[in-house]
């Protein structure tokens, strides 16, 4: 079963716990502790705005039923656990061919030490895909906001290197930072800033160039990393999202954005909004229930996933999560005294 992990790397220290966001870098899998000093670290950003599923995964079904479209009009990525119902030729599975994406969805960057991307779930929209034939603009919104010194983008282009990608970083004060003419490398031919190599692809059966469930380009496909430095004047600002634009020169060219990381820290509006936690949650990780321990009464609990979707709620101090998919969730706690907190928990 697919598991997700909240990622921030390279520093072992307790981060500030404040209303709306609580983390413990020293031991993520244990209960959050009261706040101390914030420091910069790598964070995998929970996002909304993905518009397609381009990763075939799991057992059963076909490449064209496991996804919504292709990367390059013929092929798509696949997970290491993909086993189609009707294999093409003698290759029966991703495991037999090789080159599948990690089942965990975690991509440890080969470019930047300590940086790990978390891909969106393989069974739902997991990419922002831009094409000249459909739409050449799109945006990914941050479900948790950060201030950052650097932004890291996991992406690819298809058919040829994309030399004219526009990237716009949006801030909470209404301003933006525009980076034009950014380069995204071709998923097969590119050799620069390879975050994850050794991947392969599978045909969706939509053109004569790739038959349904046909594995190809053994180990030649990749995912690339793009680093953008936030200007000094913007490093204290809340980042709310990133927009992308791409005008390819051919109908088969595409830009695919899979994940975003930042080097920074969770954004805090002001010291008056910071407070010691009034609640703890346990067990964490959990397989069945999450419980809230607080001296104040619990008015409402709401759980949302890393796409911001509501997955469960309760009017008591106990929330049943047994039917949740494995992964990271945010528990929104509303107490009877009117205070609110958000904490992360992991469903095993």
Each residue of 220-252: pLDDT tens digit?
A: 999 999 999 999 999 999 999 999 999 877 777
Give the model's pLDDT for residue 208. 79
Mean pLDDT by 10 residues, the chain (348 residues): 43 34 33 42 90 96 96 94 95 96 95 94 95 86 90 96 94 95 96 98 89 96 98 95 88 92 74 54 88 90 82 94 84 88 82
Longest dimension (CA), the chain: 65
pLDDT for the residue 346: 81
pLDDT of residue 1: 45
pLDDT at 340: 84
> What is residue 305's predicted lDDT score, i.e. its pLDDT?
81
Residue that the structure tokens 């995964």 belong to: 57
Bridge partners of 255, per DSSP, are 130, 157
Confidence at residue 21, expressed as pLDDT on a 0 to 100 scale: 35
How many distinct helices (H) and strands (E) make up the chain? 1, 21
Q: Are 84 and 106 in contact (CB under 8 A)?
A: no
Helix, strand, or coil (residue 252): coil
Predicted local confidence at residue 142, as pLDDT: 92
- The pLDDT of residue 16 is 34
Predicted pLDDT of residue 295: 84
The pLDDT value recorded for residue 70 is 94
Identify the pLDDT of residue 268.
Answer: 54
State residue 182's pLDDT score.
96
pLDDT given for residue 307 in this prediction? 66
Please tell me the pTM assigned to this model.
Answer: 0.72
List the one residue out of 10, 7, 14 whose CA is nearest residue 38.
Answer: 14
All residues at 6 or more sequence positions from 162 whose CB lies less than 8 Å from its CB, including other chains = 183, 184, 185, 246, 248, 253, 255
Whether cis (ω within 30° of 0) applies to the bond prior to 343 is no
Q: Do 64 and 185 meet the contact criterion of CB atoms below 8 Å apart? A: no
Q: Please report the pLDDT score of residue 330 as a whole number.
A: 85
């Amino acid at each position: 079963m697919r598991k997700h992990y909240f990622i921030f790397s390279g520093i072992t220290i307790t981060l500030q716990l404040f209303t709306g966001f609580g983390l413990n870098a020293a031991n993520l899998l244990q209960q959050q502790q009261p706040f101390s000093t914030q420091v910069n670290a790598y964070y995998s950003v929970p996002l909304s705005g993905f518009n397609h599923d381009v990763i075939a995964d799991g057992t059963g079904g076909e490449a064209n039923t496991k996804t919504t479209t292709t990367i390059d009009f013929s092929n798509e990525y696949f997970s290491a656990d993909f086993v189609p119902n009707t294999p093409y030729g003698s290759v029966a599975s991703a495991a037999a061919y090789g080159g599948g994406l990690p089942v965990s969805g975690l991509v440890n960057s080969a470019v930047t030490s300590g940086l790990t991307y978390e891909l969106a779930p393989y069974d739902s929209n997991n990419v922002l895909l831009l094409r000249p034939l459909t739409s050449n603009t799109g945006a990914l919104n941050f479900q948790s906001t950060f201030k950052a010194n650097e932004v890291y983008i996991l992406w690819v282009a298809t058919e040829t290197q994309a030399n004219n990608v526009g990237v716009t970083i949006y801030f909470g004060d209404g301003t933006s930072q525009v980076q034009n003419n950014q380069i995204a490398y071709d998923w097969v031919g590119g050799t620069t800033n390879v975050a994850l190599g050794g991947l392969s692809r599978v045909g969706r059966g939509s053109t004569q160039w790739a038959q349904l469930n046909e594995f190809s380009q053994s180990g030649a496909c990749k995912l690339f990393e793009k680093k953008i430095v936030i200007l000094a004047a913007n490093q204290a600002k809340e980042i709310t999202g990133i927009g992308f634009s791409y005008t390819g020169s051919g109908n088969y060219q595409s830009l695919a954005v899979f994940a975003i990381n930042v080097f920074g820290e969770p954004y805090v509006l002001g010291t008056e909004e910071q407070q010691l936690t009034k609640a703890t949650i346990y067990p964490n990780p959990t397989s069945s229930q999450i419980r809230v321990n607080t001296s104040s009464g619990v008015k409402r609990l709401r759980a949302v996933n890393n796409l911001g979707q509501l997955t469960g709620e309760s009017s008591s101090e106990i929330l049943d999560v047994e039917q949740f998919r494995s992964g990271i969730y945010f528990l929104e706690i509303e107490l009877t005294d009117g205070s609110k907190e958000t904490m992360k928990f992991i469903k095993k």
